[in-house]
Amino acid sequence: MRTQQKTIAIYGKLDCAFNNAGIDLVVTPLHEQAIEDFDKILSVNARGLFLCMKYEIQQMLTQGVGAIVNNSSTNGLVALPGISPYVASKHAVMGLTRTAALDYAKQGMQINAVNPGSIATDLMARSADQIGITFDDLGSMVPIGRIGQATEVAQAVVFLCSDAAS
């Protein structure tokens, strides 16, 4: 909210927003997951994104235009074992994104999500380490044979925030 207010104070409007929230915890079977860990992941990954969208949409409605891109994950579309709270949170991101896209399309807003797979980030490095594999091992599991780069995701986000994506 503070970042949004600062953006509006400087530029007078909010043209686009990229909501990128994501934490995970230790890979653990569901029956061993701590309720507190589940709540923490959902609070950041789903509730945090919901709150960002709520206030971004309020501003964009006053402008009659705007683009929101939410960072989900391939785990928002499918699932991997041992990370049920993370998977649930990213499915929630997809549900929020799809619903908002339908709710606000006629008001001039474009609302999308990107669903990156394995991207070279600290979070991914920790995840690989937890299951005892290297980045190279992880890359060999990806259809293109390598880990993606954050710049590749950024390029997709820039496109989705542009007029070319209308």
Domain chopping of the chain, boundaries: 2-165
The pLDDT of residue 85 is: 95
What's this model's pTM, rounded to 2 decimal places? 0.90
Tell the residue number behind the tokens 């789903």, with chain if given.
46
CA-CA distance, 72 to 69, in Å (whole number)?
A: 9
The pLDDT of residue 141 is: 81
Q: Cβ neighbours of residue 64 under 8 Å, at least 6 residues apart?
A: 107, 108
Q: Which DSSP state fits 79? A: -
Catalytically annotated residues: 86
Q: Which of 145, 83, 153, 59 lies closest to 112 in space, CA to CA?
A: 153
Is the domain spanning 2-165 CATH 3.30.590.10? The answer is no
Q: Which regions in the chain score pLDDT beneath 70? A: 1
